[in-house]
Structure 1
Amino acid sequence: MTEQRARGRAWLRSAPWIFILAAIGTVQVIRAQPFDAAVFGVAAVALALDAAGAVPAGARRPSVPISAAIAVAGVVAVTLALAPRHGLLAGLAVGAVGVVAVALAWLRPPPRAADDDPAARHRRVRRAAIGWGGVALVLCLVELWSFLLGRFTAEAKELHPAISELLDPALGDPFGRAVFAVAWLALGVLLLTRGRSARDA
């Protein structure tokens, strides 16, 4: 019974993310973007398999020094700022960040400290999941709404641009790409090192 309850909680935690990824993948199919649809589809299937217990938990996540994370993020930020936006180098840099982030997230967390309160930790994780899930859902709904409204006429498309189209002017400039890359990577480093003790720095 305990294992069934744990599996049920795993499904409850994963269901919103599976839905979001599947919805985005469906929109990419409608947009005739097969590669993007495949990426989101594979991610949704992987989460579903993980929730079903079909994916092994893997080893413990290594302790990444904050200084190393900042250094790597700095190199990636410079690369994204200077490389052509849709070029091979930028694609490889973003892809590498994604692979590392997924790998670190999929591995089991490091052992907890002796004074760590499991109940408090569970509440923090639940609040974070609800918050990030809400942000992702709102962005997806806004993007979907703009996409649907902009499909009818050229005038409608101009009145309801996608989020990526709104960001195009800023990201077309190296300085804008640098600001966006720094903000994006800084958030990633924050999430990676959140709750770490000073001795890990």
Structure 2
Amino acid sequence: MRKLLVFAVASALLICSSRARAAVNPLEQNLDQDTLIKLAEKGQLFNMIYDEKGELTHRLCIVMVDASPDIVWGVITDFKNYDKFIPDMDPPVIRNKKDNEATVDFVLRIKIVGPIASTQKYSTRYVMKKPKMFMHDPEDSSVEPGFWQLTPIDGGKRTLVYYYDKAPDLMELGKLVSGLVTTRPEFALALQVSPVSILLNQTKEYAEKKAKKK
């Protein structure tokens, strides 16, 4: 039987569950949508998904955005302008652009402790099937894709945003990150949660600003 643990983490609600294989929307297996909406109105929801060995495999974050799905979709698919609302990101490089696909190269500086930061370079192949956008590893097609998913709320006045991805191996993110995790293992969860939390928070704020201008 799966155990569900709920923690208050800053402004986010962290829901950790142990499971062998991730579902499309893992939180919905534990909470109905009405409950998700009520919780998301109070702050971000996180589900950190672990395998049977206790290893973190995937991350799911849910956030309520006071903007229509069309506005949010416009924000998350406007890859070239990600650096306008995601802090410490270089202008993304878009390649292999097609009607519903694009491969994007990113350079992002992740703050570790105080002024210390780790520069991460990565690429993502996006496949857009509105209201869902899949995120593939362009180098390894066997890796389960992550996704953005938009669910209209209140007749489309608001949007419940799901973000799901594979948790990175912190030991492969450079000497700064691996060294910190080795010496201070209690920081590992924060290093997994923080980048996604910032991404979803900045996406929410940017979309809501666009909604107010309309």
Q: TM-score, normalised by structure 2?
A: 0.27
Instruction: Flag the structure with larger Rg.
Output: 1
| Larger RCO, structures 1/2 (Cα 8 Å, 6+ apart) | 1
Between structures 1 and 2, the one with greater strand share: 2
Structure number with the higher helix fraction is: 1
